[in-house]
Amino acid sequence: MIGYSELRLNRPALREAARPMRHAVAAFLSAVGYPEGAKTDDILTAVGEALANAVEHAYDGAPCGNVEVLAHLESDRTLLVDVFDRGRFIERDERPGRGFGLRIVSAIAETVSLRTDGGTHVRMAFAGPEP
């Protein structure tokens, strides 16, 4: 990686938008030096879960808005990935086989923050690629 690297995506929060956004994050990880493998797969799983939550729940019952992804490396090579929407965060009752998205994200990322004011903003931090 040379210099500062950043990925910004902004797409309608439709189910069919999640996969290409995840593929764009995969290309970004490759460009900044993450080798293919388990760590990259884990990051993409966490990002995919956050995207799935946004496209499935953010605008439920409301006109479709956008979902955004921002990924960049900090100076200490920590990877930050933000997924956010302008919809509403809904606390859901437990349903069998459902509701694991944020738990999966939390199990994979080193740190996760969740803000729900003015939409939902999930920030995930991951150890950067080896120099």
pTM value? Answer: 0.87
pLDDT digits (tens, 9 = 90+) for 35-62: 889 899 999 999 999 999 888 888 887 8
Q: Residue 108 carries which side chain, given as an amino acid letter?
A: I
All domains of the chain, ordered by start, with CATH?
A: 6-126 (3.30.565.10)
Query: Binning pLDDT at 50, 70 and 90, where does residue 76 land?
Result: confident
Query: Binning pLDDT at 50, 70 and 90, where does residue 95 land?
Result: low
pLDDT, mean over the chain? 87
